[in-house]
Amino acid sequence: MLAFAEPATEEAFSPHQGGTALIVRTIDEAQKSVRVAAYTFTSRTIAEALADAHQRGVNVQVVLNESQRKSRSSVAGWLADNGIPVRFNNHYAIMHDKFIIIDDITLETGSFNFTKAAETRNAENVLVIHDDPKAVADYTKQWEKLWDEGKEK
């Protein structure tokens, strides 16, 4: 029987209480894969962490709400220009998800949109869950559904 570590959590809040820093640190720990589902994505800091992971050889994929396709402030084009596959999901009125799956063992979720406003103006939260195979499997199944429904640029 395989033994797993006990699930552990980390949390951060905003404004200015470490939300972006926790997300970036979690992405920086990725060794194999990063799967992102995001309603709004305008944070250059988080985008740069994804690009750095991609440059390290981590398989990074991003699915965004359809509104991000034409948004001037979206980092979608920048991510694609840096070699990261991006899809846009228009299957719902809004795809309001905000989560990241890292190395099939770590899950980042919460109300925190991947935006500068989330870090500097809004009251939002970030929860990172380590070593919870069931939660990660459930979110992975949802991410794959969103990705499969999405369309490329």
Residue 83's pLDDT band, with cuts at 50, 70 and 90, is: very high
The residue from 52, 103, 130, 145 that is catalytic is 103
The reply to whether 74 falls in a domain is: yes
pLDDT for 150 equals: 93
- Report the pLDDT value the prediction gives residue 2, as an integer from 0 to 100: 55
In a domain, 13, yes or no: no
When the pLDDT of each residue in the chain is averaged and rounded to a whole number, the result is 95
pLDDT of 1 > 60? The answer is no
Pick the catalytic residue from 16, 32, 91, 96: 96
Report the pLDDT averaged over residues 66-89: 94
| Residue 138 annotated in active site | no
| CATH number of the structural domain spanning residue 109 | 3.30.870.10
What local confidence, expressed as pLDDT, does residue 7 receive? Answer: 86
Q: Name the domain count of the chain.
A: 1
Assigned domain for 57 exists: yes
- Active site annotation includes 98: yes
Q: In whole angstroms, what is the distance from residue 54 CA to residue 34 CA?
A: 9
pLDDT band at 4 (very low <50, low <70, confident <90, very high): low
Domain that holds residue 110: 33-152
Pairwise pLDDT comparison (40 vs 4), residue with the higher score: 40
Closest among 63, 48, 42 to 115, alpha carbons compared = 42
Give the pair of three-digit tokens for residue 34. 């990063």
Closest CA to 54 of 20, 30, 87, 26: 30
Residue 50: inside a domain? yes
What are the tens digits of pLDDT across the range 46-72? 999 999 999 999 999 999 999 999 898
Distance CA(98)–CA(101), nearest Å, equals: 11
Structural domain includes residue 80: yes
For 87-133, what is each residue's pLDDT tens digit? Answer: 999 999 999 999 999 999 999 999 999 999 999 999 999 999 999 99
Stretch 19-42: mean pLDDT:
98
Would you say residue 84 lies in a domain? Answer: yes
108 falls within a domain: yes
Judge whether 103 counts as a catalytic residue: yes
Query: Active site residue: 54, 97, 98, 132, which one?
Result: 98
The bridge status of strand 86-89 relative to strand 59-65 is: parallel
